[in-house]
Amino acid sequence: MWMSSPTSGAARAEALFVKRRYFPERRVVLVSLELEAVSDYALKPLRLFSRHGIRMLSCIVQSHPNRGSVHASLFLDLTDSSIDPAELLVELRAMPHVRRAELLDLPFTHGEARLVVFTLREVHSLFSMLRELGAGGEAIMYHMGLRAGEALAESLSRCFESDRRALEYLLLYHESLGHGRFELERYIDRAYCRVVVRGLVECLGVGSERPNSQLFRGLLAGFLSKIWGEKVRVVESKCIARGDPHCEFEATVA
């Protein structure tokens, strides 16, 4: 079985800082939604939260006038509400226009329950600066994704009954963050998967003779390596940066 390297002293110190900001008396959950793109898509969920005394701590919504769906992720504080997380999920899934709803009931820290947003232009400026560093910058992006994927896998693997469900949630969550439109095209448990991404944020507006993704490729490798328990190699076989219609990633056990 493949194991990651020990956590560095700096990483341990950072984790301790975030942990100290965790408020154990709060009941915080993460809800991710896919909804039909109707004009009042937000009203019924908000009324539901208000009726049950649920506070919204942080929220991000992705919509586009030419697409038929809306994606959102919300951190909700259920401390002053009498509703159970499982009951909340049942009510959300029963709502009109809700295509998909998932809820994570984990001991979130303050740092985890705060969504931080960058515009596409700001993100592109950051990616451009790292690419200017050459192979070193690409390695930084890949390992940023790798570490993030490992951390997400540790949390999500406890919330879903199968590795596939955990991966599907990861893609739903990142779509709600505006990173692209994700589709799990093929999945063979602990052996192979293929993910198609349209409009992958790190490859938009980039011209390259070779596949461009480092961040998402690393994220997928780190995530699958953790949940499959084996080192996973991820190859970007298609990329919009070199003229392909979409980005495509194939993951295999190394």
At 78-112, the pLDDT tens digits run 999 999 999 999 999 999 999 999 998 876 655 55
pLDDT of residue 48: 94
CA dihedral 47, 53, 57, 61 (to 10 degrees): -10
pLDDT tens for the chain, residues 1 to 254: 343 334 455 655 554 544 445 456 678 888 999 999 888 888 889 999 999 999 998 888 888 877 889 999 998 999 999 999 999 999 999 999 999 999 988 766 555 555 556 667 777 788 888 888 889 989 999 999 999 999 999 988 888 989 999 999 999 999 988 899 999 999 999 999 999 999 999 999 889 899 999 999 999 999 999 999 999 999 999 999 999 999 999 999 98
User: What pLDDT is recorded for position 37?
Assistant: 86
Could you say which of 95, 117, 139 is where a domain stops?
Answer: 117
pTM: 0.76
Residues 96 and 155 in one domain: no
Supply the CATH number for residue 100's domain.
3.30.70.1150
Tally of domains in the chain: 2
Contact 69, 37 (CB under 8 A): yes
CATH code, domain carrying 157: 3.30.1380.20
What gap in Å lies between CA 5 and CA 222, rounded to an integer? 12
DSSP the chain: ---PPPPPHHHHHHHHHHHHT--TT--EEEEEEEEE--TTTTHHHHHHHHHTTPEEEEEEEE--TTSSEEEEEEEEE-TT----HHHHHHHHHTSTTEEEEEEE-----TTTT------HHHHHHHHHHHHTTTHHHHHHHHHHHHHHHHHHHHHHTTT-SSHHHHHHHHHHHHHHTTS-EEEEEEEETTTEEEEEEES-TTTTT---SS---SHHHHHHHHHHHHHHTS-EEEEEEE-GGGT-SSEEEEEEE-
Q: What is the pLDDT of residue 45?
A: 92
Are 53 and 76 part of one and the same domain?
yes
Give the residue numbers spanning the domain of 73: 1-117
pLDDT for 143: 94
pLDDT score recorded for residue 19? 44
| pLDDT, tens digit, 9 for 90 and up, residues 23-55 | 566 788 889 999 998 888 888 899 999 999 999
pLDDT for position 131? 84
Phi, psi of 143 (to 5 degrees): -75, -25
